Amino acid sequence: MRFVLVHGAWHDGSCWDAVAAELRGEGHEVHAPTLAGQGRGDVDRDVGHDDAVASAARFVEEAGLEDFVLVGHSYGGTVVSKLAERMPERIRRLVYVNAFVLVDGESLNDATPPHYVELMNHVKAERGDGTVVLPYPIWREGFMNDADDALARDVYENRLSPHPVRTIEDKLELKIFPTLELPRSFVNCTDDIALPPGELGWFPRFYLRLGLCRLVQLPGGHETMFTNPALLARKLVEAGRD
């Protein structure tokens, strides 16, 4: 099986390293691009959502990838949906891992609980550089609630980077996506409280937006690629099978 793994906000392609190693160990082919505006170091973060999608499309085209399972985590779900509109003939199946599934004319902010939008607007104004970051207490309790503090701090301090705010404010045109005849799966990490449980949570809200869809569940929080990569790898295979 061939996988293209698309990361979420504040991450880059390296967040999948441990999962990719597990998958490759079982004979699968894995690619994990870093989206425009992401990654540590001297990166141009003045990008919008179209730029992020275009960077993923370039990666796929330059690598000549076809017949792959396209996986999106969190914010990466918004990129996966647009990429599916752009190159449906190359994709075997779409897999959303506790990911945003937007509708036409919606931005990621529109699908995010109001208290998070308020927080990000405050951080955006405070930073003044067009990026947002998560305060550590929210990362620790909401995103890595199933990790010990050492792992949570290591990822926060060494693996994350500021996220371009325009990519979460841009409204997406998704008129084609609902009509695409691509198989779809939703992987639900049942301990994920990065979005609050209930009607504003990941599941079943975004799962239900996908129509006919395979559901795969596993215990774990939002950052299961760090806390239990072996289990997540197995579940990706289950989600990606025909």
Q: What is the residue range of 208's domain?
A: 2-240
Closest CA to 170 of 89, 110, 101: 110
Query: What pLDDT is recorded for position 135?
Result: 96
| SS3 state of residue 92 | strand
For the chain, 242 residues long, the average pLDDT of each consecutive 10-residue run is 98 98 98 97 95 98 98 98 98 98 98 95 96 97 97 98 97 96 98 95 97 97 98 98 96
**pLDDT given at position 206:** 98
User: Residues 123, 189, 15, CA angle at the centre, nearest 5°?
Assistant: 60
The label of the residue with tokens 């197995």 reads 234
pLDDT value of residue 173 = 97
Residue 167's Cβ-side half-sphere holds a number of Cα atoms within 13 Å equal to 30
Q: How many domains does the chain have?
A: 1
Place of tokens 């992401």: 38
| pTM score of the predicted model | 0.97
Structure confidence at residue 220 (pLDDT) = 98
Residue pair 180/104 in contact by the 8 Å Cβ criterion: no
Q: What is the CATH number of the domain that holds 218?
A: 3.40.50.1820
Between β-strands 131-132 and 163-164, what pairing exists: parallel, antiparallel or unpaired? Answer: antiparallel
